[in-house]
Amino acid sequence: MGIDLVGMEDVWILPAIPFAVFILVSFFGRLIPRNGDFIAVLGMALVVLLVGLVLVDFQGAFHDEVFAPIAGANTYSFDWIDIGDGFFVIEFSTYVDAVTMVMLPVVSFVSLMVLVYSIGYMKGEARYGWYFAALSFFVAAMLLLVISGNLLQLYLAWEGVGLASYLLIGFYWERQSAAEAAKKAFITTRIGDVGLLIGIILLWRVTGTFDIQEIIHAAEEGVFGQTYLTVAMLFLFAGAAGKSAQFPFHVWLPDAMEGPTPVSALIHAATMVVAGVYLVARMLPVYDEVLIARDVVLYVGLITALMAATMGLVATDIKRVLAFSTVSQLGFMFAALGVGALTAAMFHLFTHAFFKSLLFLGSGSVIHATEQQEVGELGGLRKKMPITALTFTIGSLALAGIPVFAGFWSKDEILHDLQHYGPFAAYVILAVTAALTAIYTTRLVLLTFFGKPKNEQAYEHAHESPPIMTGPLVILAVLALVVGFITYQGVGESLGFVGGIGELVYLPHHGPHVFKLDIAFAAVATATAVVGVAIGIMYWWGDARRAIAAQSWAPELHQLLVRRYYLDELYQGVINHVVLGAAAVVAWFDKRVVNETGVDGSTQFVGFLGYRFKFLQTGRIPHYVLGMALGVAALAVVAIGTT
Amino acid sequence: MTVDLAHYLAVSGIIFGIGVAIALSKRNVVAVLMGIELMLNASNLAFLAFSRFSGAFQDGTEPLAGHTFVVFVLTVAAAEAAVALAMAVLIYRRRETVDLDRISVLRW
Amino acid sequence: MTDLLGNDLNLQYELLGPEIALVITAALVLFADAFRRELKIGQSAIPAISILGLVVALLLSLLWIDENKDFARLVTIDNFTTFFRVLFIAVTVVVIIGSHEYIERRVSHLGEFYSLLLLSTVGAMLMAGARDLLTAYLAIEVMSFSLYILVSLAKSDTRSGEASLKYVLLGGVASAMLLYGLSFLYGVGGSTQYTEIAAALSDGTSTLELPLLLGLALIIAGLGFKASAVPFHMWTPDAYEGAPIPITAYLSATSKAATFALLLRWFAGPLLPAIDSWQWMISVLAVLTMVIGNLVALQQSNIKRLLAYSSIGQVGFMLMAIVTISDQTGSALLLHLSGYIITNLAVFMGVIAFYNRTGREEIVAFRGLAQTNPYLALVITAGLFSLAGMPLLAGFLTKFILFQSVVSGGYTWLVVTALLASTVSLYYYLQVIRQMYMYQPEGDASRWRLSPTGYLATGAMLVGVVWVGVYAAPFYTAADRAIAPLFT
């Protein structure tokens, strides 16, 4: 290939660009016209261009058979920190393979769309420049994450995206709920992150390396004990589940919708939340060695997919419906990974990124126009906002899995693989979830864009968004229509690839596979989606009489779903009663037991020695001394007991 | 009966225990200080006993490290008492009490 | 010259150059302060003289890099000593630069303050260098006595005297315990020299098992007090809150590091042969310390108390390195200690600058600081995030290396506990950060600036936090060379 300007070995430059933008805009934004928003957009455009060049180089290397696509290339590395004569080496290393090449276009392109859209959406907001700076920081961390060749670097980037997400969810920090949501997201994912870190340390302990490929080789050669590796991979999965909002960590994502809508489109639909999927996909060869851990991935994915879909049925906030939908779709991806279907998972990740960011941006357009985000206040907007309505509908059809739209192909692939490699029940659960997806998607579209306006004032106020916002919507809508076709061999070849996505992204020991449309299977999937849409139309068309009737038919069930299976309450209760409770107990111990109760006990001890001791007459210092004396005694007991 | 190392150590242990008991049962600064002095002296006794009964002392090659230690500890103890009493005076001037019960603004 | 037993004594006084220089400076400072009017010098001359003396001491310490000598069999001058000399001098310099305004306004007895600060630095340096139990004991007391008085020097703050009284009485009890433990150790080892105790203990001929165990328990308790390990930590929050803030910063940095220097010297030296006897004691102490420190920190509303409990939690992490002591964990500990000190000083210098302006130390007082002084908010945030272990800041990398070395030492369960405890810590650090960024300022919302020295101290620490976090290799090399003499 002719263009060697930027090749795979140069991918380190990708995160460097938005990071430079972040530094520039956050420190000097005030001095630059428009607070430097155009710098962020141009920087991102440059990244997209460079990703294109890398892609070309990747194809070239592929055709020249420099490496098998999945084997990838450890393209660039230097010892960042090497201390203690190799005892502790942190490399900066990049690794590019087909999985990376799925992630890079998604991250860079969706980021560009979101940045452009934000120019319109965030216009006139306070901290406008800071917004673009923080978003650039996020993109830098995310790009670093997907090109990381070793786990420690990945962890750094992982924390970076978490921090960026915290900053952006809490962007409207004047709102108490936004501040709380930011904290909830940060701490929930951090709990998962501790798991990830423990997993990384466990893997390092045996192999002595952080390099992902070396760890995979070690696992395949059976360096690890089976149980040890299972535990390590489960810890790793805890990190993935935290970031990707999988059960039981899913609670933070719906609340994260407190952030600006374009942020939700980028971080909580297309990029950060798929980092967990990416991590498991990256480590999938290792999960293949420990099937118990892989099964856990499958079950967590299934539970999350179904559970989130049911919660999406009753949510009334347009963005929360989409958030539940994201959680559910991520569950699809994990379920696919849980049966070892790398291709299907990455394919769905790819298509989902486009149509879900489209849906979020569309909902942002609605919120921007009406300043309402409860579906109870919307309705009939298709007349006022034709472009938004059309693109949103396209995105919804893709999400619902209607044929030819992108979501159909990837979801079909997942269902197909589950039926072949997974237990039958798993297939049934995901099929039901697919139908539910179609139902809640239809509901959302109908309640927002069809029927009569429920809030006349908001309706009157509504208007189509400016071109700078509808432009990205249209582009993403086109993509939501067509990206699914890359599953076809012919389409892939005409784009310069070896073939369809199945021939590009696969596990070495599974080998590539050429996509063939299984008409019967596709017909079943299509029927499921169509039935779902039909049910949605039946219940929510017009004034949604049937839906309301259904609600009063089983109020407890409805309440259970609205309250999200009471999991949020449960967690809050646990935090309040266990963590803060334990803290209170310890604090109480410090001030009471050491203070009063302990004295009663010690009275007898000291009294035994013949000293006069007065009840409740001692001050604090004696209690401290008592604590120390008891401490020494305890230490001596430990010493004598263990020797 | 010969008095040997164990007896010295027993006495020193008893003195140390008494010192701890005083330190944690008295509420007067000066009394607590006295408890601490007892603890220090228990250590001194132990040092001297160990020094006296070490093999090196018996054959005349003992450098008397334990004895030396005691001399220094005595000075340190004096300094300690001086500092603590100065603090007690400081507090007494401000609060008119040296009752440890009532010196507890700083807590939890 | 020889001693009674005919050992050669090396009396090269220049080996003690840094200590001598600081003692002379301390005397000069006292003198200059007493005759300030006669000498016609301003208040700011006192910190200037102190810094000058410290710089001289720093240069004198650097003379002995890669040497390995001892002074009269009492003090070792090796890379380990040099490392800590440099560290302690640097801490004192930073504290003086960052807080001289605070000291001028809110501390009584200026001359005594600086002079005692220098003397306690001398004590800390000798703690790191001692090779004899007596030297070590005296060094501990020199450092501690200076600190007892320093804690009491906050002007017109009744808490200060109380804090000092608690510190001195409890410190007295602790040092009595330590001394009693040392007497047992002397009895078992037959000498006060580290090397000879080590030899005696590894002989295994000693029949004094019980005195050794009791001695170890008492020694660990005494040092646990100085390091503020639970359950010997109770003085820490009180003393931290009552002391003038620069002394709080100093307590959390030098006093803690000196204790760990001593712990390393003892547990990698004379006490190493008895490792089976103390490993469990320190593990228990480490777990208690990290869990209780982090949990109680959740309940705090005063920034100094919060930092006190957070520093207790950090001590728990550091104790893990003593449990699995080796040259790897040793250097990891030294690295973490330096990173922790830089981070902690960044936070404290920020808090001092804030206190200079507002005179408040409750956490809620930090509301809206991001608007009134974004730079200061950034410094404090970077420091707190580093303490919480966020990547690219010192706290993550050094803690990670420390944890890793403990895992290699075979104590994975300790590290898992530590990771869980450090998750809790994020919660309370975030509370402070939230106050700064997510609330409107109360009252006066106008922007304000730090003094030039305030910018210097906070800026240097901020750079340090990021530098260690991004590129720790030079620090690790230094730590590695410092720990080497202990394991040869």
Chain A, nearest residue to C440 by Cα: A174
Per-residue confidence (pLDDT) for residue A72, from 0 to 100: 55
- Count of pairs with CB atoms under 8 A, one residue in A, one in B: 53
In a domain, C234, yes or no: yes
Q: Which chains touch C (3 or more CB pairs under 8 A)?
A: A, B
Please report the beta strands in A197-260, taking only residues with DSSP state E, as ranges in sequence order: none
Could you tell me if C354 and C366 are in contact, meaning their C-beta atoms sit under 8 angstroms apart? yes
Chain B, nearest residue to C175 by Cα: B40
A622 with B22: Cβ contact below 8 A:
no
Q: In 3-state terms, what secondary structure has residue C249?
A: helix
Per-residue confidence (pLDDT) for residue A617, from 0 to 100: 28
Q: What's the pLDDT tens digit per position in A336-356?
A: 999 988 888 999 999 999 999
Q: In 3-state terms, what secondary structure has residue C95?
A: helix
Q: What's the pLDDT tens digit per position in C53-72?
A: 999 999 999 999 998 998 98
B21 with A611: Cβ contact below 8 A:
yes
C298 with A583: Cβ contact below 8 A:
yes
Per-residue confidence (pLDDT) for residue C58, from 0 to 100: 96
Q: Over 60: is that where the pLDDT of A619 sits?
A: no
Q: In 3-state terms, what secondary structure has residue C393?
A: coil
In a domain, C399, yes or no: yes
Could you tell me if A340 and A294 are in contact, meaning their C-beta atoms sit under 8 angstroms apart? yes
Per-residue confidence (pLDDT) for residue C260, from 0 to 100: 96
Question: What's the rounded Cα separation, in Å, for the pair B76 and A582?
Answer: 41
Q: What's the pLDDT tens digit per position in C362-379?
A: 988 998 888 889 899 999
C238 with B106: Cβ contact below 8 A:
yes
Look up tokens 């909002």; give the residue: A245
Chain C, nearest residue to A624 by Cα: C234
Residues of chain C found within 8 Å of residue B49, distances taken between Cβ atoms: 187
Per-residue confidence (pLDDT) for residue A198, from 0 to 100: 87
Which amino acid, residue A6? V
Q: Which chains touch B (3 or more CB pairs under 8 A)?
A: A, C
Chain C, nearest residue to B36 by Cα: C173
Give A589→chain C minimum CA distance, Å: 10
Per-residue confidence (pLDDT) for residue A418, from 0 to 100: 87
| For residues A491-503, average pLDDT | 74
Q: Is C225 on the interface with B (CB under 8 A)?
A: no
Q: In 3-state terms, what secondary structure has residue C173?
A: helix
| For residues A41-70, average pLDDT | 75
A629 with B17: Cβ contact below 8 A:
no
Question: What's the rounded Cα separation, in Å, for the pair A8 and A92?
Answer: 15
Here the tokens at position C359 are 């005179």
Residues of chain B found within 8 Å of residue C203, distances taken between Cβ atoms: none
In a domain, C7, yes or no: no
In a domain, C5, yes or no: no
Q: DSSP per residue over C66-103, as a string?
A: T--EEETTTEEESHHHHHHHHHHHHHHHHHHHHHHHHH
Q: Give B15 or A125, the one with higher predicted confidence.
A: B15
Instruction: List, for chain B, all residue ranges whose pLDDT scores fall below the cut of 50.
Output: none
Beta carbons within 8 Å of A195's beta carbon, 6+ residues apart: A235, A236, A237, A238, A239, A242
Q: Over 80: is that where the pLDDT of A571 sits?
A: no
Q: Is B99 on the interface with A (CB under 8 A)?
A: yes
Residues of chain C found within 8 Å of residue B88, distances taken between Cβ atoms: 165
Q: In 3-state terms, what secondary structure has residue A195?
A: helix
B95 with C158: Cβ contact below 8 A:
yes
Please report the beta strands in A125-184, taking only residues with DSSP state E, as ranges in sequence order: none
Q: Over 60: is that where the pLDDT of A526 sits?
A: yes
Q: Over 50: is that where the pLDDT of A598 sits?
A: no
Per-position pLDDT tens, chain C of length 488: 777 667 778 888 999 999 999 999 999 999 999 898 888 888 888 999 999 999 999 999 999 999 899 898 899 999 999 999 999 999 999 999 988 889 888 888 889 999 999 999 999 999 999 999 999 999 999 999 999 999 999 877 778 888 898 899 999 999 999 999 999 999 888 888 898 889 888 876 555 688 888 999 999 999 999 999 988 888 888 889 889 999 999 999 999 999 999 999 999 989 998 888 899 999 999 999 998 888 778 777 889 989 998 999 999 999 999 999 998 899 999 999 999 999 999 999 999 999 988 888 898 899 888 888 989 999 999 999 999 888 788 988 899 889 988 988 889 899 989 988 887 787 788 888 888 887 888 877 788 888 999 999 999 999 999 999 888 888 888 998 999 999 87
Q: Give A85 or A295, the one with higher predicted confidence.
A: A295
In a domain, C83, yes or no: yes
Which domains are present in chain B? 5-95 (1.10.287.3510)
Which amino acid, residue A376? G
Question: What's the rounded Cα separation, in Å, for the pair A363 and A373?
Answer: 8
A639 with C174: Cβ contact below 8 A:
no
Minimum-distance CB partner of B103 among C162, C180, C183: C162
Could you tell me if A83 and C477 are in contact, meaning their C-beta atoms sit under 8 angstroms apart? yes
Domain count, chain C: 1
Here the tokens at position A135 are 């978003």
In a domain, C97, yes or no: yes
Per-residue confidence (pLDDT) for residue A601, from 0 to 100: 39
Residues of chain A found within 8 Å of residue B105, distances taken between Cβ atoms: none
In a domain, C4, yes or no: no
Per-residue confidence (pLDDT) for residue A613, from 0 to 100: 27
Residue B90, Cβ density class (10 Å: 0-12 exposed, 13-18 middle, ≥19 buried): middle
Please tell me which of A21-35, A554-568, C19-33 the model is most confident about, judged by mean pLDDT.
Answer: C19-33
Look up tokens 């098992």; give the residue: C209
Quickly state the pLDDT bin for A1 (edges 50, 70, 90).
very low
| For residues A517-540, average pLDDT | 81
Q: List A residues 151-190 in contact with C (Cβ-Cβ < 8 A).
A: 152, 155-156, 159-160, 163, 170, 173-174, 179, 183, 186-187, 190
Chain A, nearest residue to C221 by Cα: A632
Minimum-distance CB partner of C192 among B9, B69, B80: B69
Q: What's the pLDDT tens digit per position in A472-481?
A: 889 989 988 8
Please write down the long-range contacts of C292-296, taking CB distance under 8 Å and 24 or more positions apart. C292/A586, C292/C230, C292/C233, C293/C230, C293/C233, C293/C421, C294/C421, C294/C422, C294/C424, C294/C425, C294/C428, C295/A582, C295/A583, C295/A586, C295/A587, C295/C424, C296/A583, C296/A586, C296/A587, C296/A590
Residues of chain A found within 8 Å of residue B39, distances taken between Cβ atoms: none
Q: How many CB atoms lie within 10 A of CB C271?
A: 25
* Rg of chain B over all Cα atoms, to the nearest angstrom: 18
Measured over all CA atoms, what is the biggest interatomic distance in chain A, rounded to whole angstroms?
A: 97
Range of the domain at C130: 13-487
Alpha-carbon distances, residue C414 vs A194, A267, A586, A635, C419 (angstroms): 14, 35, 20, 18, 9
Q: List B residues 74-93 in contact with A (Cβ-Cβ < 8 A).
A: none
In a domain, C2, yes or no: no
Question: What's the rounded Cα separation, in Å, for the pair B31 and A605?
Answer: 19
